[in-house]
Amino acid sequence: MQSPFATVINSNIFHVRPFCIHQYRTTLSHRHSISTMSTTTLPFSDIQVQVPGFGAMGLSSAMGNDLSYDQAEPVLLKAVERGCIFWDTAVAYKNGANEQLLGDFVKKHNVRDKLFVASKCGFDVFGPQRTVTNSASHIKEYIEGTIDRLGFTPDLYYLHRIDPNTPLEESIGALDELRRAGKTKYIGLSECSAATLRKANAIAKIDAIQAEYSAFETIHETNGLIETAKELGVAFVAFSPLGHGWLVDDFPFKSPDDFGPTDFRRTVPKFQGDNFYRNKAIVDEIKKLATVKGCTVAQIALAWVAAQGFIAIPGTTKASRLDENWDSRKVVLTEDELEEMRRIVDEAKPVGARFAPIFESMVGH
């Protein structure tokens, strides 16, 4: 059943809010009077959502984890308890197992009406080549699998990657058909180019884009994607807002060799060789600011993403870490602190590609 999402969930209670970024502004005495801001809700199409959200990928794949239902359940229960209800999954996350995990949880705890759930198609994960495909037949087939595994229609359905060999008129037309048929309420694109977003939005209204963004990675500030999304009124959902795990107080890896054999970071140039140690210096600078602020690195990093107007979807396998991430909502960044974060981010650009070569070739189309 489609989620009746016309309001915002605050904790576990529905509240209608004005359609604008919910900001708290006060005046502090800190050298001089300055504005401060804490962002707790952000607009998404015709609704507002509580931020940050939750990226479920790491429960099942990519980060060296494959949690059982019993292991994942405490994390998901904590998310519902705290009001962290903007969830993200995909067919590609362990070939639908991640969708199934969320679906089993929602069914057991009867919490469909409390959640906004996004999923994605676009990888032929059940085919022999496992390639990117955006054909209409793929989209129509995969939404049925998503609905079957989740046990309900997703609120938002993305193309996970753009297939340059499929005309946008075909793929966007198919997504729009799903929306009109009630199989999803919103549609989106992930890691596309600014030009593709503009063209796609001219075919049918695009509600969201999902792309990497953090204090550790701001490439989309310079390639036009963020600017185009803002111009078109498309929500920006930021995956890896903690830099694939860099932006935490207790990053457990001391060298590139410490990543497990199934951890995708083992193949990412940004985490390999000398790049590992050079990029670690960026985290050290942010940690200094977090220490002065009296919060964790993760909290200041998430507060900064929210201050840009982006919906962060950090992932975790620990209920305690979800608590920490959610409490980033309490972090009030002054204008001076926002400027200092911006200085660190602009001066300390990370080195190395974001993905292994085969996956790097799939982004920016």
Q: What is the set of active-site residues?
A: 93
The label of the residue with tokens 């931020």 reads 51
**Residue of 6, 41, 3 lying closest to 22 (CA atoms):** 41
Cα separation of 328 and 6, whole Å?
Answer: 25
The Cα 141–Cα 176 span in angstroms is: 15
What is the rounded CA–CA span in Å between residue 174 and residue 139? 7
3-class DSSP state for residue 49?
A: strand
CA torsion sign for 277, 278, 279, 282 is positive
What lies within 8 Å, CB to CB, of 289 at 6+ separation is 300, 337, 340, 341, 344
Cβ 85 vs Cβ 124: under 8 Å: no
Nearest Cα neighbor of 31 from 339, 364, 321 is: 339
* Count of residues making up the chain: 365
Output the six-digit token pair for 59.
């429960």
Strand, coil or helix: 350: coil
- Residues near 20 by beta carbon (within 8 Å), at least 6 away in sequence: 43
Instruction: Annotate 175-196 with b (16+ C-beta within 10 A) or e (fewer).
Output: bbbbbeeebbbbbbbbbbbbeb
Complete edge-to-edge strand list for the sheet that includes strand 39-44? 22-23, 39-44, 47-50
* DSSP helix/strand/coil, 80: helix
Instruction: Kindly give the pairing relationship between strand 208-212 and strand 186-190.
Output: parallel
